[in-house]
Structure 1
Amino acid sequence: MPATGLDRRAFLRAAGLGALALSASACTGFATTGNGGMIFLSTQFRPVDEAEAFRSLLARTVSGVSYVTIEDGPFAGQVRSQIDAGSTQIGLLGGLHGDLAPLADGYLEDVTDVLAALGDRGWPAEYLELAKAGTDRSWYIPWANASYVLAAHADALQHLPSGVDANALTYDDFLDWAIAARRANGNRPMLGLPAGPEGLLHRFTQGYLLPSFTGGQITTFRSREAATAWEYLRELWANCSPTSTTYDFMQEPLETGEVGMAWDHVVRLVDAPERDPRNWRMLPSPRGPHGLGYMAVVAGLAIPKDSTDPDLARRTIDELSKPHTQVGLLRSNSFFPAVAAEIPQDLPPAIKLEADAVKRQQEAADSILSLPPVGLGTREGEVSKVFQDTFRSIVLDRADIRTTLDGQASVLQGILDDLKVPCWAPDPAAERCEVM
């Protein structure tokens, strides 16, 4: 690969396992130790090679900062316990929106002035709104992001229906394309979806399908529009490779030619175009009646209350938010910039292809930003299971859609009632998140 500092498999680990919190590490608390200086505690880049790659970038960027990683589960508890005890040992925090937003209730410094001092660096308005955590102040600075897109080989692209713009697909276009590709391929489906045991198809329903069809994720879960979305997915699945139930990372069946088009997280697509990038395209996800629903995995930088060195924390945020440093993070750890930054030409072709597709999703006039569940802690998996079970019942087992949605809505509401957390984008952040 062009000069990235990481080989192919190391790139895969760096790009996705940190962003998706899928590290195999089983440790709790601080996962690594620092080398002195202000502690920068983060849920990101936990595996050793990822942490060292980021530490190298950090050392070239600012001095006196020690990068320490921690699992996302104990992250909030560690921060709260130190601040409550009046013995904060941390200067700066890094994590996903879902890690940081729950701490805005008195455990983070207001960084509205920090954001203002940084000037306009091109953060998406949606990211800046997220950083307010439902208030009128900013609690973190958007740091980096990842997302999900479509990948298609030239063999599949030739079956795109006449007059359809691949960069502006509707869900109807997407279905028509899948049908046309299947028929032209001897009735063998060319579309694959990540419905395997470790696949991320539930993110497709949470962040793409339901927001595009209903405008929401949780509040609209059992709506008539949601039923229409699931009917659509049934039909799409009928034109999808039946072995999709075994696919975890879509780059693998794409690379072998088992399928020619797929949707997945950017890191789980990146290997497919490596040998022949000229015959591949990365495309923004389709749009539905309510717009182009897309899910962003947004990471941010925050200053904890009683930071050990607030001035150094602010300088570090400044340096890590500069466009050239953001591109450095893309090279070292494969997180996409959160600010306006030109993507260099010497990056791996797949990253350049993905960057364009991600940008088109973000900048679409009808885009609907969705988030992974926020504030659920160790129970996030239970919410994901609701979407997984709904797919299994409606699409695989052909169960009655209304009965299934009503039953799973009760399970979902029970979890939310226990936790008493507000909804997350695209649903309104009401004090009580209620399934309608």
Structure 2
Amino acid sequence: MKHMKRPAAQLLVGFGLSLLATASAHAQSVLFWSTQATPVNEQKDVREVVLKNSPVPVEFVTNNDGPYFTRLNAELQAGKGSIGLLGALHGGLSSNTKDLQDLSKLGATAKVSPAFVKLGKLGTSEQKYVPWMQATFVMAANKKALPYLPAGADINKLTYDQLVTWSKNLAEKTGGPKFGFPAGPQGLKHRFFQGYLYPSYADSMVTEFRSAGAEAGWNMFKELWKYTHASSTGFNQMQEPLKNEQVWVAFDHIARLADAFNAKPNDFVAFPAPSGPTGRGFMPVLAGLAIPKTAPDKAGAEKLVAYLMTPEVQLATLRATNFFPTVDIKIPADMPASVRITAEAISKQAGSADANPGLLPVGLGALGGKFNQVYVDTFERVVLAGQPVKAVLDEQAATLRKLMQEANAPCWEPDKPSVGACPVK
């Protein structure tokens, strides 16, 4: 991401006298500059609850990406500034990798999923950010479906082949297909293909789009579709079909499963996405904590990071933002049912030995919608229209390659880093 650079003096005027006055009044505070918890109610909860017992004085200020990066980059250009701690999504932090201090000595990282710790290195040997909070997609099942699991299958370590067998068992033994998928017009089906199927079968999202592994993944999904509820092409969210028992097993974003879990907490279980030949692909929406090289008080900022990663503060952050902890902690009984049910699945998914995160696309700008459409079109042609997998992947790969070159977007995980546009083989 590129940001317009202006002389520091001009930017100080742009920030306004109020910001200058605030910075002066809180000269000894750590300025926590965040793109997260921007709604007014969330800001209030973070200030009054999450940061209540901070070991250092904190000034928590949120902003949208534009103003956020304008100020950050101005301070970095000037070589000094007042921002002490950054809170932002992985993609945002990755745009300033070289400007972030090494946090490897922070013991809090040891409590985080190894897959997330690796992401926090941003392709370097240093810990550029500490994984702070996450949201994601998981699987859900009505407990009625559990007796039909394949023999010997562990629901928390399921493979896609086992999911197909399970779905087949349900279809054949309960009177019809019971697997559900959000394939409706507003369903998040593209995120499944990008962050789950491709990392699990090709260890890639972009580069290996037309590989033999990708072909195997699409063939698996074609088989799964045979046992998928016929109304899935109209399902935008899976909570209602789960609640009314149209489907017994489903995949969706945690926010789009919550109503079912809250309405019938005793009827459902949540569990990690299945794994394939190249790992257990999953798509985390991951936010991190980073300290810019221009931070006026690194020691104070490090104390704040350590505080924010403690179990009780991670839980307070969950209550304030609805983002889940990145550390493995027990969820209290007074949390909403949807939180209690999904928390364990989220933790097991991120902490699995074969975890293979496929991150949200980065650097596509206005072309993000066209990027998503490549995966939707592939699904519609391969799965719904029954066209030959290899031929479709070859054609769609050409479209994807042109799009990546137009965006000049470098690769992101699980693809290997690239100089310039992420290649499509």
What TM bracket, shorter-length normalisation? 0.7 to 0.9
Residue 98 of structure 1 corresponds to which residue in structure 2? 91
Query: Quick check: 248-257 or 172-181, which moved more?
Result: 248-257
Q: 1:196 to 1:55 in 2, by over 3 A?
A: farther
Residue 40 of structure 1 corresponds to which residue in structure 2? 32
The within-5 A match list for 1:225-244 is 225-244=213-232
Alpha-carbon offset, residue 300 of structure 1:
0.2
Q: Could you tell me whether the CA contact under 8 Å between 1:152 and 1:261 is conserved in 2?
A: yes
Q: 1:365 to 1:140 in 2, by over 3 A?
A: closer
Alpha-carbon offset, residue 398 of structure 1:
2.7
Is structure 2 residue 64 aligned with structure 1 residue 71? yes
Query: Quick check: 90-99 or 414-423, which moved more?
Result: 414-423
Specify the SS of the correspondent of 1:151: strand
Is structure 2 residue 139 aligned with structure 1 residue 150? yes
Is structure 2 residue 119 aligned with structure 1 residue 130? yes
Deviation track 1:332-355 (CA, whole Å, cap 9, x = no partner) reads 222222234333333233323322
Q: 1:119 to 1:88 in 2, by over 3 A?
A: closer
Q: Distance in 2 between matches of 1:49 and 1:55?
A: 10
Alpha-carbon offset, residue 310 of structure 1:
4.2
Q: 1:318 to 1:291 in 2, by over 3 A?
A: closer
Q: Distance in 1 between matches of 2:381 and 2:82?
A: 48
Q: Distance in 2 between matches of 1:176 and 1:104?
A: 44
Q: Could you tell me whether the CA contact under 8 Å between 2:80 and 2:295 is conserved in 1?
A: no
Q: 1:76 to 1:53 in 2, by over 3 A?
A: same
Identity %: 38
The within-5 A match list for 1:179-218 is 179-187=168-176, 189-218=177-206
Rg comparison, structure with higher value: 2
AA partner of residue 102 (structure 1): S
Alpha-carbon offset, residue 357 of structure 1:
1.6
Q: Distance in 1 between matches of 2:396 and 2:326?
A: 35
Deviation track 1:34-59 (CA, whole Å, cap 9, x = no partner) reads 99445433222233333333233344
Q: Could you tell me whether the CA contact under 8 Å between 1:324 and 1:341 is conserved in 2?
A: no
Alpha-carbon offset, residue 137 of structure 1:
1.8
Deviation track 1:293-313 (CA, whole Å, cap 9, x = no partner) reads 222221101223433554543
Q: 1:207 to 1:74 in 2, by over 3 A?
A: farther
Query: Quick check: 123-132 or 51-60, which moved more?
Result: 51-60
Q: Distance in 2 between matches of 1:197 and 1:305?
A: 44
Q: Distance in 2 between matches of 1:99 and 1:306?
A: 17
Residue 5 of structure 1 corresponds to which residue in structure 2? none
Query: Quick check: 331-340 or 292-301, which moved more?
Result: 331-340
Is structure 2 residue 271 aligned with structure 1 residue 283? yes
Q: Distance in 1 between matches of 2:170 and 2:361?
A: 34
Q: 1:99 to 1:48 in 2, by over 3 A?
A: same
The within-5 A match list for 1:268-347 is 268-307=256-295, 310-347=298-335
Q: Distance in 2 between matches of 1:304 and 1:350?
A: 36
Residue 413 of structure 2 corresponds to which residue in structure 1? 425
Specify the SS of the correspondent of 1:277: coil
AA partner of residue 265 (structure 2): P
TM-score using structure 1 length: 0.83
AA partner of residue 166 (structure 2): W
- What RMSD, in angstroms, separates the aligned Cα atoms of the two structures? 2.7
Query: Quick check: 383-392 or 49-58, which moved more?
Result: 49-58
Is structure 2 residue 53 aligned with structure 1 residue 61? yes
Alpha-carbon offset, residue 101 of structure 1:
0.9
Q: Could you tell me whether the CA contact under 8 Å between 1:169 and 1:287 is conserved in 2?
A: yes
Q: Distance in 2 between matches of 1:52 and 1:150?
A: 32
Q: Could you tell me whether the CA contact under 8 Å between 1:123 and 1:339 is conserved in 2?
A: yes
Specify the SS of the correspondent of 2:175: coil
Residue 165 of structure 1 corresponds to which residue in structure 2? 154
Gapped regions of structure 2 (runs ≥ 5): 1-13
AA partner of residue 125 (structure 2): D
Deviation track 1:118-151 (CA, whole Å, cap 9, x = no partner) reads 4564122222221221112222121112222110
Q: Distance in 1 between matches of 2:397 and 2:390?
A: 10
AA partner of residue 271 (structure 2): L
Q: Distance in 2 between matches of 1:248 and 1:78?
A: 38
Is structure 2 residue 249 aligned with structure 1 residue 261? yes
Q: Could you tell me whether the CA contact under 8 Å between 1:421 and 1:431 is conserved in 2?
A: no
Alpha-carbon offset, residue 422 of structure 1:
3.0
Q: 1:142 to 1:119 in 2, by over 3 A?
A: closer
AA partner of residue 173 (structure 1): Q
AA partner of residue 320 (structure 1): L
Alpha-carbon offset, residue 97 of structure 1:
0.7
Question: Which one of the candidate residues 137, 141, 149 is aligned to 2:130?
Answer: 141
Q: Could you tell me whether the CA contact under 8 Å between 2:180 and 2:228 is conserved in 1?
A: yes
Specify the SS of the correspondent of 2:258: coil
AA partner of residue 131 (structure 1): G
Alpha-carbon offset, residue 221 of structure 1:
0.6
Q: Distance in 1 between matches of 2:106 and 2:152?
A: 47
Query: Quick check: 263-272 or 396-405, which moved more?
Result: 396-405
Specify the SS of the correspondent of 2:252: strand
Q: Distance in 2 between matches of 1:69 and 1:399?
A: 48
Deviation track 1:205-260 (CA, whole Å, cap 9, x = no partner) reads 11111221222221211012212211221222232223222322222221232222
TM-score using structure 2 length: 0.85
Number of equivalences: 401
Q: Could you tell me whether the CA contact under 8 Å between 2:283 and 2:359 is conserved in 1?
A: yes
Q: 1:287 to 1:117 in 2, by over 3 A?
A: closer
The within-5 A match list for 1:368-407 is 368-407=356-395
Q: Distance in 1 between matches of 2:86 and 2:367?
A: 22
Alpha-carbon offset, residue 61 of structure 1:
3.3
